[in-house]
Structure formats: C-alpha cells, structure tokens
A and B are shown apart, each in its own frame.
Chain A
C-alpha cells in the first residue's frame, strides 16, 4: 500500500517537473510578451497542482497535509491573478501583440 502511494507521488512530482520545464522553455523561446506570459502561466497552475499533490501524498494524513492543501488553494488564487495583472499592465502601457499576416490572408 505504501508502495502504491510512493509510486503515485513520484509520478505526480515528475509530471509536475516536466510541466514546469516546458513552461520555462516556453518563457524563453516564445517570440512575444503575451505568448511568453501564456507559457509561464503553465508553471503557475498545472505545475503547482501536480507538485503539491505529490507532496501531499507523501505527507499522509496529518496537519502538514492540510497546510499544503491551504497553500495550493492560495497559489491557485494568486498566481493567475498576478499573470492577469501583468498582462493587463502591459496592455495598458501600450504593448500590442505581434501580428503575423500569413500568405493565405494576403492573397
């Protein structure tokens, strides 16, 4: 039984790490501010949920697990809000998304 919980938490932690990595690569390689924000917000939501779930499974049923669940809820509230506020501030100060006109539309 403990083995099952251990393996589940390992899988969750690895999956969370993969998504954080993808978010990091995306934040570096995307061409524009808004697309980079979109990539970085991956880390906030999916990466956070998976990693914290993995740690909660390791903690078992204890006070630490309840505190971790509270942290998850808090992060789920604040990280998307911060991403929204950042994109909003960029829009308000005049940064517009890049537009690429494709060849099909030109003709």
Chain B
C-alpha cells in the first residue's frame, strides 16, 4: 500500500517538474517549485529518511520559496519565450534520458537488503553508535561525530554564501535604516487584523519548536540545520507581518553577523579544544570525564554552532533581499 502511495507521489513529482519548465509566469514557477519540494519531503519520509524529510520541508519548501519570491520582486515577473524553437536541447536531453534509464537496469531493486550499499560501512555505524556514542539518532551521530569534519566544511560553505550575498547586495549607507518596505503589500498586511493577530500568536511557537528540534536532534529527527531553518522562518514571518524595520529592531544586523561568525567559531573551537586537551582535532572523547559524556557534550556544542550559523545566514540573506528594495 505504501508502495502505491510512493508511486503516486513520484508521478505527481514528474508532472510538477514539467509544469515548472513550461510556466511562462515566473511567479507560477516559483510556487510550483515550493510544491515540488513538499512532495520531495513526503517521498523522503516514505523512504525512511526522517531527518532529510524535515530538512527538505523546512529549507526547500520554506526558505527557498521566500528567497526566490524576494528575488522575483526585484527583477522581472515574466519569462519571454525563446525567439526560435531549437531542437538540439530536446534531442540531447531525450538521448541522455534513455541512456540513464538503460543504466538503471543494473541497479538492485528498491529495498533489497543484499544491495552492496548496505554491506560495508553502514552496519558498522549501526552497531557501534550505541557502544561509542550512545545516542539514538544514528544520522546525527554520523553527522556530528563520525563525519564531523565534513560538517565543518559544510558550515563554512554556508558561511561563505552569507558573506557572498552581503558583498553583492549590501547597502553600506542604508544598513540598519529603520524605514519600512514601500510596497503596497507590506502596508496592507500591517493594517489587516487577521494575519497580524495569528502571526503574532504563532511566531513564539515556531521559534520554540525550532529550539526543540535543535536540542532533540540526538533523540529524534532534528539537528542544527533544521533548527536554523525553522527559527529563521519564524523571524521571516515576523518581518513579513510587522515590516522590515521592526524585524531589524528585534534582531539587528550586528547580532546576525555575530551569529554567523560565532557559530563557525564555536565549531572550530570545539575541535581545537579537543587538540588542546590531548586528543586529535574534533576528537570529542577527551572533552569530559569519560568518552561517552565527552561525545554528548561535543555533539551538543557542535550542533549549536551549526544552528547559529544557519539561522544567521538565512536571515541575513532575507534581509539583504528585502533591504535592496529601498534602493529602487
């Protein structure tokens, strides 16, 4: 039964993808891509990837749609069609599709327990996590401890993206100005009671849920990335309802920049502390009395660092797009 539902969702996904490519009005394409991300999240959940489903829903369907709408507000709304119809892309794409489908015939079928991908490292992780790290969520254990170095690299990728957007879109003279968005929608929303009341009611709960996901990342699906996306979504909602100025008063640019840098510093600091206390870089076992407590402490600090940087970066990018409006 679940297989049938999965097949249905996958078919819907393909139809949505075709819709995105064919939509001339870019607003429609962005909305369809939000729906696309939501369907991907549902498919990930059916395939037993709970963490990934949470991340895709929060990041893909939430924050990415807002960022794309922000960019659309600053550029054109419509796509002008190609001047002449070209056959080469369709031919190339069709041939490559057939080649890839031919290649998939060699793959083991979905869910096969004898597939090579389940044989080597994965059983080791599933057995050793209760013994070495003792937290229930194996994905967080691998992400934060066993493969912590990769997560450090990823954190710096997010950091670099935040800095890059600041380089491209910052208004040095108007940074921190308390003037509000001049567009009609922002004022309209502020004067209408229903979204304002409900939004104000919901923002604390969204941030609370984000904090819950952050600290429960070891016991259930969750962790730094999802928490960062959720908390920044809460603040983006606040900014949309109350206006840009109020949101900047709540979380100023200096605080956001401190969060971006502070999260990365925290992560590297934990790694260096491991070295100073006698172990290797990012070795958490030496951080406390016994190795398992050290691992718990290390994972908690590291996930907090990730959550800080992700929140800071997503909010900075949103404010950069929103503040650009004032220049026009």
Contact = CB atoms under 8 A, between A and B. Distances in A.
Nearest to B185: A89
B188 interface: yes
B201 A88 contact: no
Q: Which of A74, A77, A81, A89 has the most CB of B within 10 A?
A: A81
Contacts of B192: 85, 88
Contacts of A78: 198, 202
Contact of B198 (A77, A88, A89, A92): A77
Contacts of A85: 189, 192, 194-195
Contact of A88 (B188, B202, B205): B188
Interface in B152-211: 184-185, 188-189, 192, 194-195, 198-199, 201-202, 205
Interface string A75-88: 00110010011001
B185 A84 contact: no
Interface string A55-86: 00000000000000000001001100100110
9 A-B pairs closest in CB distance: A81-B198, A85-B195, A92-B188, A84-B194, A81-B195, A77-B198, A81-B194, A88-B192, A92-B184
Given A77-B201, A92-B184, 9 more contacts: A77-B198, A77-B202, A81-B194, A81-B199, A84-B194, A84-B195, A85-B189, A89-B188, A92-B185
18 contacts: A74-B202, A74-B205, A77-B198, A77-B201, A78-B198, A78-B202, A81-B194, A81-B199, A84-B194, A85-B192, A85-B194, A85-B195, A88-B188, A88-B192, A89-B185, A89-B188, A92-B184, A92-B188
